[in-house]
Amino acid sequence: MNWKILLLVVFIFSLVGFLGFTEEGRKYAEILRNGLGGFTKLLGNFVAPFSTTKSSSPFEFELVVEKEAIFGQTFSFSGSKFFSTCRALSLKIDGKNWEINEEINVSLEGKGSLDFDLSGKAKLSAEAVSLQLNNFKTNEAKIEMEFLPEKIYLNNTNQKLINLTSATGRVLKKFEGIEISANFTKSNLKIENFFGSLELEKNLIIYGSANEIEINGKKI
């Protein structure tokens, strides 16, 4: 009897190791947990820490929403390219005020922050390695600008948490060759540890990597 018990113990530990520590095993454990309910609750609780670690790994995604969803958000950037067609409400370059009463094109490379208030106004604060404002060009300049954006492009930007409320659009998640897409209407979205690019025109497009996306509290 002892050798049979020993074989059973070895089998159980081998099974738990397979389910907890291998890629294929975690997939089977997830199926078992969802399909068998209470019977696999104990096994699911054991495997959960490994599944959580896996789900928090960075993945690629693309999000398209109504542009109003960006209101109230802040983005930091470094080593980035920024471009905007906009109407400047206030503008300072190296501490000097500029008076501009027309639509302008602004492009720069550098680091700083981009903030959107709840009315849709944007505020740019940046240390630029290079800066172009219509036909004016300069290097190593500090710019502070409040503006109404018509178009925006910004890469190499990051945000620990993007929290969108009452958003309508679609999201595509890519992880290990698997693509998951979801459409949503007037939903709450959370994106954790975002790094990538954003484009704003008729819609807002955010793409890059993240560690987690939730729609109405449910992870995708």
Mean pLDDT of 49-62: 65
Q: State if pTM tops 0.75.
A: no
Q: Answer whether residue 53 shows pLDDT above 50.
A: no
Dump pLDDT digits (tens) for 123-176.
Answer: 999 999 999 999 999 999 999 999 999 999 999 999 999 999 889 999 999 988
CA distance 24 to 28: 6
Residue 152 has a CB neighbour count (10 Å cut-off) of 23
- The strand ranges marked E within 96-177 are 96-97, 103-116, 122-133, 136-175
Length of the chain: 220
Dump pLDDT digits (tens) for 90-103.
Answer: 999 999 999 887 89
pLDDT at position 22 is: 47
CA distance 176 to 57: 11
Contact 166, 188 (CB under 8 A): yes
Residue 103 structure tokens: 């639509």
pLDDT at position 101 is: 76
